């Protein structure tokens, strides 16, 4: 990343100003749409944070429970970084960014115990529901982490079980029964640039980030996941500060769901 933009941004930050005029802890406008593709997916959602746009779909499949958890269902999160969303993304097998993004989304939902896995099991040791969450960024204008987590949760909220006929899923018919969504873990990613903490960066800001911390938070403020990224380290005080910001901001994010 270029030094001239970094220099300029730090100069702006010192005047208490973001690249697009926002405050450090201010998100862009967030819009959530549910059921954008109800014919092809059991649940779907579109999330827009400013110009960043992410689609998420939930598909349900039947499978045999894993032998270590014979009475539980499971989830799988997949992120494909489409080349159309950012010129830096290439088609082909998922790169490190896509893998990290999908795992961060997966971790918040799994460890936040968002879905009751026991209720996803139909017959122990024989049949369970596999919840596939597919996330596609349509436009990457920064902060895919929070947008993807929000989209995944919105799609889960929208999803309904299809009917099972003779041991097979009849995708055309919905039972109208919602998934056993018991908790709503949301992620907020706090970025550190120089000595400044900020949320929801635009692409230019994202390129010069020193460190970032994605924090998964439940409704009552309990933390359920953490992911640190970026080249620089964080000391314990900084982590504390970042977590505080994340807890505060996820409360706001919850209102758009």
Establish if 64 lies at the interface with another protein (CB under 8 A). Answer: no
Establish if 88 lies at the interface with another protein (CB under 8 A). Answer: no
Interacting positions 11-50 with another protein (CB under 8 A):
11-12, 15, 17, 19-21
Stretch that binds another protein, among 5-13, 32-40, 60-68, 226-234 (CB under 8 A): 5-13
Burial of 114 (0-12, 13-18, 19+ CB in 10 A): buried
Establish if 1 lies at the interface with another protein (CB under 8 A). Answer: yes
Interacting positions 100-139 with another protein (CB under 8 A):
none
Pairing of strands 74-79, 127-139: parallel
Residue 97 · residue 83 · CB < 8 Å:
no
Q: Report how far residue 86's alpha carbon sits from residue 97's, in angstroms, rounded to the nearest whole number.
A: 12
Nearer to another protein, 15 or 172 (CB): 15
Token pair for residue 39? Answer: 């014919």
- Give exposure, 232-244, as e/b (b: 16+ Cβ within 10 Å): eebeeebbebbbe
Establish if 96 lies at the interface with another protein (CB under 8 A). Answer: no
Establish if 3 lies at the interface with another protein (CB under 8 A). Answer: yes
Stretch that binds another protein, among 7-15, 106-114, 182-190, 218-226 (CB under 8 A): 7-15
Distances (CA, A) of 34 to 8, 110, 157, 216: 39, 22, 9, 22
Residue 210 · residue 197 · CB < 8 Å:
no
Establish if 90 lies at the interface with another protein (CB under 8 A). Answer: no
Interacting positions 186-245 with another protein (CB under 8 A):
204
- Interface with another protein by CB under 8 A: which residues? 1-5, 7-9, 11-12, 15, 17, 19-21, 204
């Amino acid at each position: 990343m270029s030094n001239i933009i970094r220099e300029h941004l730090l100069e702006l930050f010192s005047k208490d100003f973001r690249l697009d005029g926002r405050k450090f802890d201010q998100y862009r406008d967030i819009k959530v749409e549910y059921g954008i593709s109800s014919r092809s997916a059991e649940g779907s959602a579109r999330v827009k944070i400013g110009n960043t746009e992410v689609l998420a779909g939930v598909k349900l499949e039947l499978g045999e429970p894993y032998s270590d958890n014979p009475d539980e269902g499971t989830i799988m999160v997949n992120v494909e970084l489409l080349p159309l969303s950012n010129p830096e993304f290439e088609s082909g097998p998922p790169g490190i960014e896509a893998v990290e993004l999908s795992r961060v989304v997966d971790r918040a939902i799994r460890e936040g115990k968002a879905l009751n896995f026991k209720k996803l099991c139909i017959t122990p040791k024989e049949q369970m529901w596999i919840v596939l969450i597919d996330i596609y960024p349509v436009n990457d204008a920064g902060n895919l982490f929070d947008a993807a987590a929000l989209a995944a949760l919105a799609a889960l909220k929208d999803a309904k079980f299809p009917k099972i006929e003779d041991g097979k899923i009849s995708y055309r018919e919905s039972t109208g029964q919602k998934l056993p969504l018991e908790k709503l873990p949301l992620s907020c990613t706090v970025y550190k640039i120089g000595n400044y903490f900020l949320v929801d960066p635009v692409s230019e800001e994202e390129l010069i980030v020193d460190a970032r911390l994605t924090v998964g938070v439940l409704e009552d403020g309990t933390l359920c996941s953490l992911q640190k990224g970026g080249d620089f380290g964080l000391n314990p005080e900084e982590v504390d500060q970042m977590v505080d910001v994340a807890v505060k901001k996820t409360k706001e994010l919850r209102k758009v769901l």
